Structure 1
């Protein structure tokens, strides 16, 4: 399908409103595709309820201790980061509902996406508390602090920036969940996070396909948005308490680091969309494409240096 609109031929004619209207048909098609492949699942089926028991406090149960957790230390750190990220759903919903609207296919997708994302926090919290995987008091205090700050992503310049951001961010979240499950050491946790990762992958496909249509419709603006998002990408949980330290532990633990970000998140989306091979760009689009290519080359070099330092650190720790 060729996306054209005669009265919007000039790049400067593409307001957010015009783009939302022009992409409505694509959103409807992708929504129908998503509903056709998404499978219903029940959060309660992924929780080991028989492992649960009362905590200390008004129920006069047993206080939490690290040795009660079946999850590895790095796994616990990543689970808290991942859950706090999912917890901020009300702020994410506000962001995308404000940008994409609540009517038509856009609105239907926004609400469907929110409903699906809501299951992730439900099942993760139920699992963590029932299995005593993490400290419940610390988890709740972090949740209160993180959600009290709200969320405003770094790329509010335009609707295209938002579409580009979520295309990469959904894949980054999928990768983080999947790697956390593998690192956790608990098959129950691994199965639960694999189920969540499947949702995140479907969400990524929706936004990636929408970004592909945007590149066809407004190539210069879409290329600039992709350049801006990729070169300044941050995960949505960057504002949570202790994020920098947690991110460092996750990087060393192989859950999410520069190499993973380059190889498993940025490159797959850029390659699928043929971003660096796109032709027919104007001066601004060509400049953005060139800057993006240079950035990816530099990021690969940074990832190589990180890999060497990580390998040396792990080797030293293994000997000690």
Structure 2
């Protein structure tokens, strides 16, 4: 069945099938741009294999112990969260392949994205095991639990919700990897995470540009999707064991928190899209735009309160450490 091309009107509610068809040319353009700017890199080159040795168990090696790693406690928590998030790639692939399809430019992008994302988990796990940064038994058990539960998007209302979610999520993941490298305490780890963060940034640009095209073509529906995603955003790893406790530690440590989410993730994408400047919206689009503006004001206020609590807590910790 061939779907006839349609023209944009602000009030028309397009089906996912029509939207996918209309955005196919944009996907092809963005795919070609991505392939030109993406640089090949080899995960094995960023792993210090010479630091590796046998673990206890079948090979009768040395049991893991905390003091064997130079990675900081905060870096260890962040690395595990980041890796377990990457581990759920099969579920993520299923989500976007089901939504976007496997044909044409959409399908080519889905598989290319999956291939690039796949090396992130490979490289992170190799680094963690070679450097003995984490308990390998606990890591494997957490992986089994997390992957057994799978992943289902909170915002799978439409393909526009999916595009909006990944546009913000890819930037959030980039920031998380970048900050993890900064706090990890190992230059090799920071170097590896910089490569991964660069991949995530390129993925963000792809989805952000696609979202911009959708905003031009179907402004009301896209504004609604953006508002829904922003106001109900959760990181993809939220279902992993102990996530809430880990997230709290990462927030206090400065890896990822409300201020970072507001300033470094939401605002850059929204400013690029000029979301609050879009005019000519219908009632639904205007409502979504207003909801988004009010939410961002509230989130900024929450982030300010968090900043104050974080500063007070860190000051107390510093004072306690000085007394010891």
* 1:40 aligned counterpart, secondary structure: coil
Superposition map of 1:93-242 within 5 A = 93-242=93-242
- In the alignment, the residues of structure 2 paired with residue 232 and residue 66 of structure 1 have an alpha-carbon distance, to the nearest angstrom, of 37
Q: Which moved more, 1:11-20 or 1:83-92?
A: 11-20
Instruction: Give the equivalent residue in structure 1 for 2:297.
Output: 297
The whole-number CA distance in structure 1 between the counterparts of 2:52 and 2:33 is 39
Distance 1:236 1:266, change over 3 A: same
Is the Cα–Cα contact under 8 Å of residues 165 and 229 in structure 1 kept in the other structure? yes
Report the Cα offset of residue 8 of structure 1: 6.1
How many equivalent pairs are there? Answer: 317
**Equivalents in 1 of 2:297, 2:10: separation in Å?**
32
Give yes or no for contact 2:99–2:159 (8 Å, CA) kept in 1.
Answer: yes
5+ residue gaps in structure 2? none
**Aligned mates of 1:295, 1:5 — CA distance in 2:** 35
**Contact map agreement 1:88 1:150 (CA 8 A) in 2:** yes
TM-score in terms of structure 1 length: 0.98
Query: Could you tell me how far 1:11 is from its partner in structure 2?
Result: 4.0
**C-alpha deviations, 1:13-45, integer Å up to 9, x for none?**
400000000000000000000000000000000
| 1:42 and 2:3 aligned | no
What does residue 56 of structure 1 align with?
Answer: 56
In the other structure, the counterpart of 1:263 is 263
State the shift of 1:280 in Å.
1.2
Structure 1 Cα separation of the partners of residues 317 and 16 of structure 2: 52
Conserved? CA contact 2:10–2:220, under 8 Å: no
Task: Render the CA deviation track for 1:174-197: whole Å, top value 9, x for unaligned.
Answer: 000000000000000000000000
Equivalent in the alignment of 1:82: 82
Task: Write the distance in 2 (CA, Å) between the matches of 1:10 and 1:176.
Answer: 36
Query: Residue by residue, what CA displacement relative to the aligned partner does 1:47-97 show, whole Å, maximum 9, x if unpaired?
Result: 000000000101111111111111000100000000000000000000000
Question: How well do the aligned residues superpose, as a CA RMSD in angstroms?
Answer: 1.1
Structure 1 unaligned blocks of 5 or more: none
